[in-house]
Structure 1
Amino acid sequence: MLTSPKIAIAQIAMHWTTAENTASIERAMNFASSKGAQVCGFSELAVTGFHREIGREARANLVRPAVERIRALAAHLSLGVAVGAPTFGSDRTKFNTHLLIDEQGMITAEVPKRGLTDPEATFFARGSIRPVGSIQGLRCSAVICREVTDLDHVRSELPPGTVDLIFVPGALRQDPDTPRTDPPEYVRDIQRLAAATRAYVVHTNWPNALNRPEESVDAGGSVVANPDGEVLFRLPMQESGIGIFTLGERTFSWHPQ
């Protein structure tokens, strides 16, 4: 296991098509590798985008070739990748999944989202497992978006000592129906998750919203917390870019994209 891996958070803008998003992912991977990163994390449904055209984009003939391109580039760069993409069951079910791809381009875990909203559940099937995969020797899993609020369940699946690193991909933001807090409640949820699992938590937030562009005002701000539940830093709000840091450190370099 790498003792001090360099990790990139690709807080890059969402686009409407799989082709555009995949091209952005590949650019981010190449950039992260050029800066010495060994792991690169992307957000929820990064391959397709998470928007009202998901039905058009979440098709196997579009998604599977895109994932193969990402896997091939990961192997070429020796770069571990955590990236969101639809996956497809044998009975035509679709899952909102976070893929953990190792530095050889192998998918070591597929983590399907269980905590679907009601609208999401009309399109995606609920996941029932939270597997652990290896990336650069790190034991990794994912807690997707608002699953961070279901701490007891996640802690039962990932008790302390189970994982080294948890990715939290999503589009988390301040709840507009509650008083604003600093930090927002979702950041506190991330802190509680890190402390409960004794793992580093790397949050990869979308910096923009396509369905309702006005919601971009609270987007971005990806968070990293240590196993004590302490926030090490947050990336800029409402900005598209790549943050690169050494795991455990409080500083990062920010590269607008």
Structure 2
Amino acid sequence: MIDLNADLGEGFGRWHLTDDEQLLSVVTSANVACGFHAGDPVTMRRVCELAAERGVRVGAQVSYRDLAGFGRRAMEVPSAELAAEVAYQIGALEVFARAAGTRVSYVKPHGALYNRIVHDPEQAAAVIEGVLLAGGSLPVLGLPGSVVLDLAAKAGLPAVPEAFADRAYTDEGTLVPRGRDGAVVTDPEAVVERSLSLARSGTVVALSGARIEVRARSLCLHGDTPGAVELARRVRERLLESGVQVEAFV
């Protein structure tokens, strides 16, 4: 059993990055940009409405405040400020989710913040504080073995490990930084095969060629790559053909 999630709503004003409507016919969970790295109120509302119509879970994709850098630049944000900004983003999305007849079902950090809280306990604790501040007991998506998932579990929040079919891994199970050659897997068939391996055996071939363990309940399919919709469809079809149940984790 595996959940398929994708980053959606990553436009801003007149600029559109992802084919939200088509991807929402494939995935089971939608990580909706909350305005800090991408997204705006109109986009957030539209994606929530589309997700509700299709029965797709809505998740808050929280980020550092970095529209210019798409949330992928390293930033130093005080813990109290980061906690408040995480709660703010969740709350903003919750308004549109509830208006659409659904709710925010989980939280997934984005970009530089996502990678930072794999190892940084202070920033990870701030993210968890922000989730708690927003209310409820929302699940948190993150890299298997990351500090943020450990802190989420200790705080009583469901910790959901996820994997990436189109990102290269180090031998330690972390993502290869985007600036390095080979960090993004671009061959469609390779992405499909990696998806099957992750879902069925919990393993994937690292950039070094070594096979490593990556146990995950959710599989991320990036929506900002060329041919993203067709690739997502191929991944889902192959998973189902191989006997893997595709289902949201919440």
What band does the TM-score fall into relative to the shorter chain?
0.3 to 0.5
More helix by share: 2
Q: TM-score, normalized by length of structure 2?
A: 0.44
TM-score, structure 1 as length reference: 0.44
